[in-house]
Amino acid sequence: MVMYEVTLQVEPSLAVRVEEHMRRIHIPEIFATRCFRLIRFAQASPARFRTSYQADTQADLDRYLTDHAPRLRGEFQAEFAAGVTLTRETWTQREVWE
């Protein structure tokens, strides 16, 4: 399993609008690509969010990054041209204890 994480640091005045956009528009559109089996959206503080995307394989993540990410990132950037700083990381699961 491959996990792709995006952290958003948002100007406080935009936090409610960004959260609403992520939950109602951006994340559902990403989920509709069928590249990810699970998406989690979390909040660490009023202006800091993290979205964790779980793909079954690196090929699924690569398909998202090649076929869908440019358009979806562009749409997000058009909506929030300033005030949101993003960091992206890819993690490969090594083991799980349950």
pLDDT of residue 61: 97
HSE of 92 in the Cβ direction (CA atoms, 13 Å)? 5
Q: Are 84 and 11 in contact (CB under 8 A)?
A: yes
Q: Take residue 23 and report the two structure tokens written for it.
A: 């939950």
Predicted pLDDT at 74: 97
Q: Provide the token pair at 45.
A: 């503080």
- Alpha-carbon dihedral angle through residues 81, 76, 88, 10, given to the nearest 10 degrees: 50
pLDDT at 81: 95
Q: What is the pLDDT of residue 40?
A: 98
Can you list the domains of the chain with their CATH numbers? 2-92 (3.30.70.100)
Sort strands 38-45 and 48-55 into parallel, antiparallel or unpaired.
Answer: antiparallel
pTM score of the predicted model: 0.92
Q: What is the pLDDT of residue 21?
A: 98
Positions of the chain with pLDDT under 50: none
